[in-house]
Amino acid sequence: MFEYLAKSCEGVLMKKNLYFYDEGDGKNKRLLGGKGAGLCTMTQLELPVPPGFVITTEVCKRYYEDGGKLPGGLMDEVGAAMRRLEELTDKGFGDPKKPLLVSIRSGSMLSMPGMMDTILNLGLNDETVEGLTKLTKNERFAKDAYRRFIQMFGKIVLGIDAKKFEDVFEKQKEKIGTKLDTDLKVEDMRKVVEQFKQIVKIETGKEFPSDPLKQLELAISAVFRSWNNKRAREYREYYKIPHDLGTAINVVLMVFGNMGPDSGTGVAFTRDPSTGAKGLYGEFLFNAQGEDVVAGIRTPLKISELEQKYPEIYKQLLDIADKLEHHYREMQDVEFTVEQGKLYMLQTRAGKRTAQAAVRIAVSMAEEGLIKKQEAVLRVEPGQAEQLLHKQIDPKAKVKVIAKGLNASPGAAVGKVVFDSDRAKELENAGKAVILVRPETNPDDVGGIIASVGVLTSRGGLTSHAAVVTRGLGKPAVVGCEGIKIDLEKRIFETNGTTVKEGDVITINGSTGEVIPGEAPLVEPKMSKELLKLLSWSDEFKRLQNWANADYPRDAKRARELGAQGIGLCRTEHMFFEQERLPLIRKAILGETEEERKEPLGKLLEIQKGDFKEILKVMDGLPVVIRLLDPPLHEFLPKYEGLLQEVIMRRMSGGRAEELKAAEDLLKRVEAMREANPMMGLRGCRLGITNPDINEMQVRAIFEAACELKREGKDPRPEIMIPLVGHVNELRTVREQLERVAREVMSKYGEVSYKFGTMIEVPRAALTADEIAEYAEFFSFGTNDLTQMTFAYSRDDAEGKFMFDYIRLGILQVDPFQTLDRRGVGKLMQIGVELGRKKRPDLEIGICGEHGGDPASIEFCHELGLNYVSCSPFRIPVARLAAAHAALKAGEAEKLRYL
């Protein structure tokens, strides 16, 4: 991908190291970074953008290729660009009279919010700061800008501990008895500047660099360096962003939001990122620089307040939003600054949004005619649809709300309180659900947020770090919850009257901002009308059918309501575990003669017939794949270890002889049925060969149920699935035996339509699928077992014993039981599909492993040409959307192929 893009750019663009905004290609985010490309586009749309230029990501790559050195000649080009910038702005870089100040902003192809560094006010030194004072007639402002610059430059470029600067600054505020920066007077600022310069001198052994071009060179290196800092690398690893993309750097004329009460800075979304409602949505801080908003330290005003104070600017923003949405055909997230009443756009990009907003925006935009229905479907990731199906607090439940903050990311979460990211990771590793509670979060907390089921902060707004990151991850969050007082040392937080300790369970409601002590009852969510519409569009484009795994009539009903087009897996043995049935199946297993087994099997026949009749009735007219008995029989018997204990204890305590005898007999029977590796033992179709009577009872029940429904005017479509086939002769033998039973039943009642087929869950079945297809009208990939055999991972053992280490060490990227392993298991599936269809072109092929509800796996199933994917009922909406994505993406790939 990367190479392909690099090559395609080569001829056109690779010769230049930097582009002014009026010349850069706004579509080439790969080269110019997202921010640079956005500024180019906005400039070329004639929106108010401060002049500037962007140094390309190619330069960053060369920086790393050369072992962390700027390419030779780069600074000459930058110098020339600065001269052009001087001309455009009528200012001079380092000119004491009309000093040109610039910001240095990182910006890579893919958004990595807050992960890399930015430096403002660059170009200031002891001389230019005086020029700034004269120009602005505001020494306090100029000195404040200078101290900010020294502080930022000191930390980012010179690597000085930020705390040293903060301590000085806080001490100065204490000295004059205030908590607000704005209370500091010009003389305070002067002192701060002097002390900051002193810190630099002590820490680096050198004077603060005064040459603006030198400052610029150092800053460019530092920003490139920040591409590879630890948190940026972690972020990229989590989001699977390649490490070799590199970042671009924007060098832009400084505009000041902190130039007095007619200045300010803000961020805005063109639609509500939480609900998707149309209209400007955002925040504004008067007399502040941009970082103040994003950092979440001061709680900003809502953007609507800007309308009252600056109706013209608000109107201008609305126009810009409209222009941008029409240009990008996508909701935008913009940053802007007002400098003494004049609006400047500093950034535009596609806005992050909640899943709910994503759905609403996609559907609205399609209805507004901005995008096509296909695009609307593709704009909502299946993972987002999944979030909408997250549980919510039961609206009927009476819960005690102890605090309320901002509803930053919807959904409810229940977990143990932790107060730092390390503890969050620790407990998550131990399998606990945790909620991270922090005054505010910063980029170093990303790992902790990932480890948590939800986040609660006492400070920050809806665009604060915590809010942005949790929305991206689809985790509930409540932010800016000022009603809780966090004491990090005591590891507690207090609200009015309640104390919550680390480890205590709380519930947060990210949809309402409420904080609830203890575990609130959660319920399944309802689907919004927009989601229903999106799913109906999905159904128009998908080629895969969506079937459900359902063992009980109630599950089948729910599945059908959620859009299931069939039942892909009905596990008959689950029915056996129910209370009244277990004794019957035990008798049927332990009976030594056919006679002894006949009576319990007869009772089970009636019960199973009832179950099947219900399910077939619910799914009237749709296929229902019923799998015959699969697990080893000893699963239905008492556990060996328990029996062993009982026998020993009875022996030693000298109880009644007949009870001991019975226990010993049962122990012997269970012992004889024990297996070294039951997963690969006597189960599945092997049982049908060694113990045919249970299978026969099941098939009789299925056909009697179907036949009776047919008589009642229904349209039952049973499909009998024989599990664990590895050799065609197994299938042939079992099928022949069961077809006899089916024909016998139908000869009494009349014909029903039915199919016989098999699971493909043993590697050998996939490898010999042509032979097997001769006796199977359908295949259903049992990818849980197929993954077990292909990897030789016993799932029960792997998940507890080494899977975590494997993922931690990067041996596996994902758990193959979650997402299909394309290279191994997928290859077997491909072989199975090809061979099976070669023998029987109309073979019905599906998947009924858990992968049938996993979007990445569904995409693969589409590529393989399966007929359907089957998953748990509650995942059906996700799977429908994923199936549409797969079809639409494949369509695009198809188109690309023929370009």
> Contact positions toward a copy of itself, by CB under 8 A?
641, 644-645, 648-649, 652-653, 675-682, 686, 689-690, 724, 726-727, 729-730, 733, 761-764, 767-768, 771, 785, 788-794, 796-798, 801-802, 805-806, 809-812, 821, 823-825, 827-828
The conformation of residue 377, written as its DSSP 8-state character, comes to H
What phi, psi does 22 have (nearest 5°)?
-85, -5
- Using CA atoms, how far apart are residues 538 and 559, in angstroms rounded to an integer? 17
Considering the complex, state which of residue 233 and residue 727 has its C-beta at the smaller distance from a copy of itself.
Answer: 727
Supply the minimum distance, in Å, between the C-beta of residue 827 and a copy of itself: 5
Q: Which of 40, 60, 390, 465 is catalytic?
A: 465
Question: In Å, how far are 126, 202, 211, 468, 851 from 207, measured between CA atoms?
Answer: 12, 9, 11, 39, 61
Instruction: Cite the DSSP H helix spans in 369-496.
Output: 373-379, 382-388, 421-429, 446-451, 465-473
Provide the phi-psi class of 437: left if phi over 0, else alpha when psi is between -120 and 50, else beta: beta
Among 437, 443, 445, smallest CA distance to 477 is for 437
The amino acid sitting at 744 is E
How far from 583 is each of 193, 346, 588, 628, 699, CA to CA, in Å? 84, 73, 9, 19, 21
Phi, psi of 863 (to 5 degrees): -60, -35
Contact status, residue 287 vs residue 182, Cβ threshold 8 Å? yes
Q: How far is the CB of 696 from a copy of itself (least distance, A)?
A: 16
Q: Return the bridge partners of 546, or none.
A: 869
* Distance, CA of 466 to CA of 441 (rounded, Å): 5
**Given 848, 851, 862, 871, the catalytic residue:** 848
Q: What own/partner pairs with CB < 8 Å and gap ≥ 24 does 361-368 have?
A: 361/271, 361/276, 361/331, 362/534, 363/530, 363/533, 363/534, 364/271, 364/276, 364/278, 364/530, 365/329, 365/330, 366/537
* Separation between Cα atoms, residue 773 and residue 768, nearest integer Å: 9
Smaller CB distance to a copy of itself: residue 84 or 801? Answer: 801
Tell me if 790 sits within 8 A of 745, measured CB to CB: no
To the nearest whole angstrom, how small is the minimum distance from the Cβ of residue 601 to a copy of itself?
Answer: 21
Whether 634 is catalytic is no
- Rounded to a whole number of angstroms, the minimum distance from the CB of residue 734 to a copy of itself is 10
Neighbours of 202 (CB within 10 A): 10
In whole angstroms, how close is the CB of 730 to a copy of itself at the nearest point?
A: 6
Centre a 10 Å sphere on the Cβ of residue 590 and count the other Cβ atoms it contains.
18
Annotation marks residue 848 as catalytic: yes
Tell me the C-alpha distance between 704 and 612, whole Å.
9
Tokens of 66: 């050369």
228 contacts 82 by C-beta, under 8 angstroms? no
Is-contact 172 190, C-beta < 8 A?
no
Chain centroid to CA 404 = 26
Token digits for 671? Answer: 């012992």
Q: Which is nearer to a copy of itself, 440 or 761 (CB)?
A: 761
From first CA to last CA, the distance across the chain in angstroms is 17
Instruction: Show Cβ contacts of residue 603 under 8 Å, excluding neighbours closer than 6 positions.
Output: 584
Distance CA 432, CA 412 (A): 16
Instruction: Determine contact, residues 50/335, Cβ cutoff 8 Å.
Output: no
CA angle 106, 109, 112 (to 5 degrees): 60
Q: In 858-899, where do the E strands start and end?
A: 868-871
DSSP bridge pairs for 264: 286, 338
- Minimum gap (Å) between residue 820 Cβ and a copy of itself: 12
Q: Which amino acids are annotated catalytic?
A: 465, 848
